[in-house]
Structure 1
Amino acid sequence: MVTMTKVCVITSIHSPYDGRIYHKQCKSLKNAGYDVVLIAPKPDVVESENIPLITFNRPKGIKNRLQSIFHLYKLAKKENADLYHFHDPELMIVGVMIESLLKKPVIYDVHEHYPNTIMGREYIPSIVKVPMKLAYIAIEKLALIKISGVIYTTEEIGRRYDKYNGCKIENYPLKEMFPEPSNEKDENQIIYLGGITKIRGVLQLIEGFGLAVKSVPQAKLLFLGSFESNQFREEVYELIDQLKLKENVTFISRVPYEQISAYVERSSVGILPYLPYPNHLVALPNKLFEYMAANNAIISSNFSHYAKVIEDSQGGLVVDPEDPKDIGTKISHLLSNPNQTKELGRNARKAFETKYNWTCEEKKLLEFYRSLLIK
């Protein structure tokens, strides 16, 4: 009997059915013949899949989160995997313990530029941001002395890991989620996909959309995602009331991962109005590529790495995310010129099919795994 190589994937923060972790990486590994087990926080609903899931109650408070680190190490040790792959910075100590005590290779999957993320978090008091950032950098440097490999999502993030055994694996969409370009478009609908937060430019977007509605009164804006807080929800609804946009703006909370494509494909324009916070200046949101997959024309912030993708694909327009007037002008232009919008959407879809899809990244993931397992 041939024994399959066993992989244990660990996350302490993300949903077990996270798009990158579960639907892309875990399924790709499973399909490649690995025995995959996932350790993750307990979900509200357990999906029926063939990847074993070991769950735990998400800890609350710093003390409980620190205690949970050792609990997660015990869960990981019990699996006796050949390789471990973790996804959250607070698990660095777990990775070091596995490398040091179990003598198994470990991958740290870096989703964001965490020093920049710390500096951009509004809820972190300004006085502690720099000490937290420096502490993270120091802890990470020590951890990476032991950890076998690092996965990161963009070149900008990857520059921090030039000295280590790293691999860039972008968070591109699955082809099977968007198998065919959609022709069932609502020419008047724009979609905003993802968390509804202040630093993602939601207020500026609504102001700009309000300006666009004056020239395109049939325009519709769909938000698909959850609010960062009840307080921000109230602020957004107050602005919508003030601008008399109730009939034009719709909110839908989170939906199962597999259903996202239906909403995106129905829209004709996808928008990414992220503000210039530190992490946004180096990370690339997967929403950009999901818009491309759904053959949407794209309106995105004018950051250089966003603009590079837009220019490469010829799939959209860039805006100053801090300027509602610019946002409104670009929205109005695309909704008033449906033929150009369709052409941009076709260009974006073509770029997704040939370059910006998970199939390309899956090959790099599997090769990186092989390189660590043969050492």
Structure 2
Amino acid sequence: MKQVLIMSSVHPWNDTRIFHREAISLANAGYEVTLYAMESNRTYHHEISNLTVKTLSKTSKRKRFQTWWTFFNIARKSSASIIHLHDPELLPLGYILQIFHKKQVVFDMHEDFPAVLKSKKIARYPIAKPFLHLATYLEKRMLQKVSAIVFAEAYYKENYRDVSTVQVDVYNYPFLQQPVSTEKYEIPTLIYAGAIHEIRGFKEMLEVARLLKKTGYTFQLLIIGQVPARLETYATNFQRKYDLEQEVTLVGRLDLSELVMYYAKSHIGLALLHPVDNYLRSLPTKIFEYMSVSLPYILSDFEVYRELVKKTASGIVVDAQKPQEITKQIQLLLNNPERQKYLGDNGYIHHQTMFNWSTQERRLIELYQSIWEEK
């Protein structure tokens, strides 16, 4: 059987893109897939044919190299011909595996690497430009040698036009959902799921909750995802100060099947990203997940986001750093159930016809077939 090794030293094993979409799709297509990734708050208990999941304990940044060395030895000794890597930090390993160990390496790009690197800081200082140039140069040199690059966003390719490696777009669209008949929460519910960070609107969401309560609205805000300790402390203090313990719930990380049910029972989805380089042109996956369950949403007012809303009539754009503006739009939606339904129905129609995983799964399988045929 055709063997594939999928590896991530950053993402948990049950990451939506890595496990639920790509690993399962490849296993269903007849590949024998082994996934190595980080442990999660969920234990792997699925019985999926052709799919084995192995987890590693998380380590400190200082000990990250030990994980890399472990991954390298696993991949080097593996009988798998195709190695599918998901993190920039694993790219040097992929380069060595391709050049010296004759593996076929697929590199899966989840983020705009140059933009992410530019936003990083070392000891509170931006990374020096000479280092940025060196890092992007080395990245391209290594990508030139792998078998294929998979992009999670179309615009990522613009940085790699001078790289001749096979390039394929595989977007983070959700699985095709049947119409959801689940009853909504009795209390009007706002929901956010994903990475938790200041630049992803965490503090703005709390401020919106404060403003809604101040103006007399009954509601609940569900924030789903792993919350960093500093933000958990911030949220706890904020909830106590403004008496929001009943309205705001930090749910923690959920598996995909659980998350979909939370979405389906909610009334408005949130995606309040700040205008940083890595977000300005990258549509958040959660928007397509909201569409899949007919959930209207409030979204940052960036150009590509605005175009999506104009095209689909499924949400509302706002200045994500102005809680009063966000609150006003939420109030208008909460006061107008017909408008909620109109936006939600439009989103679901576009989910059925365009924004679902079946369209992307074909691209992934075709890429693997072409790599296998060229072996």
Return the TM-score normalized by structure 1.
Answer: 0.91
Residue 305 of structure 2 is matched in structure 1 by: 306
Residue 79 of structure 1 is matched in structure 2 by: 78
Q: Is the 8 A contact 1:40 1:55 kept in 2?
A: yes
Q: Secondary structure at the match of 1:299?
A: strand
Deviation, 1:192, is 1.2
Distance in structure 1 (CA, Å) of the matches to 2:275 and 2:87 = 23
Q: What amino acid is aligned across from residue 356 of structure 2 in structure 1?
A: N
Distance in structure 2 (CA, Å) of the matches to 1:19 and 1:254 = 12
Note closer, same or farther for the CA distance 1:291–1:148 as it changes in structure 2 (3 Å cut): same
Q: Is the 8 A contact 2:204 2:321 kept in 1?
A: yes
Q: Secondary structure at the match of 2:14?
A: coil
Distance in structure 2 (CA, Å) of the matches to 1:241 and 1:369 = 52
Q: Secondary structure at the match of 1:14?
A: strand
- Cα displacement string for residues 177-234 of structure 1 (whole angstroms, at most 9, x for unaligned residues): x432345223711111123211111212222333334445112211122212x22222
Distance in structure 1 (CA, Å) of the matches to 2:55 and 2:189 = 39
Q: What amino acid is aligned across from residue 46 of structure 1 in structure 2?
A: Y
Distance in structure 2 (CA, Å) of the matches to 1:329 and 1:364 = 41
Residue 14 of structure 1 is matched in structure 2 by: 11
Q: What amino acid is aligned across from residue 317 of structure 2 in structure 1?
A: V
Distance in structure 1 (CA, Å) of the matches to 2:246 and 2:55 = 42
Note closer, same or farther for the CA distance 1:319–1:35 as it changes in structure 2 (3 Å cut): same
Counterparts of 1:112-191 in structure 2 under 5 Å? 112-121=111-120, 125-128=124-127, 130=129, 133-164=132-163, 165-175=166-176, 178-182=177-181, 184-186=183-185, 188-191=188-191
Distance in structure 2 (CA, Å) of the matches to 1:232 and 1:127 = 23
Distance in structure 1 (CA, Å) of the matches to 2:123 and 2:156 = 22
RMSD: 2.1
Counterparts of 1:55-74 in structure 2 under 5 Å? 55-62=55-62, 64-74=63-73
Q: Does 1:284 align with 2:254?
A: no
Residue 23 of structure 2 is matched in structure 1 by: 26
Q: Secondary structure at the match of 2:12?
A: coil
Residue 91 of structure 1 is matched in structure 2 by: 90
Identity of aligned residues (%): 29
Note closer, same or farther for the CA distance 1:270–1:123 as it changes in structure 2 (3 Å cut): farther
Q: Secondary structure at the match of 2:188?
A: strand
- Cα displacement string for residues 304-335 of structure 1 (whole angstroms, at most 9, x for unaligned residues): 22222222221010000111111011111100
Deviation, 1:246, is 3.1
Residue 44 of structure 2 is matched in structure 1 by: 46
Q: Is the 8 A contact 1:300 1:318 kept in 2?
A: yes
Distance in structure 1 (CA, Å) of the matches to 2:123 and 2:179 = 43
Q: What amino acid is aligned across from residue 205 of structure 2 in structure 1?
A: L
Residue 101 of structure 1 is matched in structure 2 by: 100
Q: Secondary structure at the match of 1:235?
A: helix
Q: Is the 8 A contact 1:109 1:151 kept in 2?
A: yes
Deviation, 1:58, is 3.4
Residue 206 of structure 2 is matched in structure 1 by: 206
Distance in structure 1 (CA, Å) of the matches to 2:364 and 2:99 = 24
Residue 374 of structure 1 is matched in structure 2 by: 373
Note closer, same or farther for the CA distance 1:59–1:27 as it changes in structure 2 (3 Å cut): same
Gaps of 5+ in 2: none
Deviation, 1:121, is 4.3
Distance in structure 2 (CA, Å) of the matches to 1:40 and 1:174 = 22
Higher mean Cα deviation, 327-336 or 39-48? Answer: 39-48
Deviation, 1:43, is 4.5
Note closer, same or farther for the CA distance 1:47–1:185 as it changes in structure 2 (3 Å cut): same
Higher mean Cα deviation, 47-56 or 253-262? Answer: 47-56
Q: Is the 8 A contact 1:213 1:332 kept in 2?
A: no
Distance in structure 1 (CA, Å) of the matches to 2:123 and 2:149 = 27
Deviation, 1:56, is 3.4
Note closer, same or farther for the CA distance 1:118–1:296 as it changes in structure 2 (3 Å cut): same
Deviation, 1:42, is 4.1
Deviation, 1:272, is 0.4
Q: Is the 8 A contact 1:209 1:327 kept in 2?
A: no
Q: Secondary structure at the match of 1:13?
A: strand
Residue 326 of structure 1 is matched in structure 2 by: 325
Residue 349 of structure 1 is matched in structure 2 by: 348
Distance in structure 2 (CA, Å) of the matches to 1:59 and 1:259 = 27
Deviation, 1:296, is 0.5
Note closer, same or farther for the CA distance 1:119–1:236 as it changes in structure 2 (3 Å cut): farther
Note closer, same or farther for the CA distance 1:265–1:147 as it changes in structure 2 (3 Å cut): same
Distance in structure 1 (CA, Å) of the matches to 2:307 and 2:236 = 34
Residue 249 of structure 2 is matched in structure 1 by: 250
Distance in structure 1 (CA, Å) of the matches to 2:220 and 2:261 = 17
Q: Is the 8 A contact 2:119 2:126 kept in 1?
A: no
Distance in structure 2 (CA, Å) of the matches to 1:41 and 1:131 = 32
Deviation, 1:52, is 1.6
Deviation, 1:254, is 1.4
Q: Does 1:225 align with 2:225?
A: yes
| Partner of residue 36 from structure 1, selected from 33, 38, 42 | 33
Distance in structure 2 (CA, Å) of the matches to 1:255 and 1:17 = 9
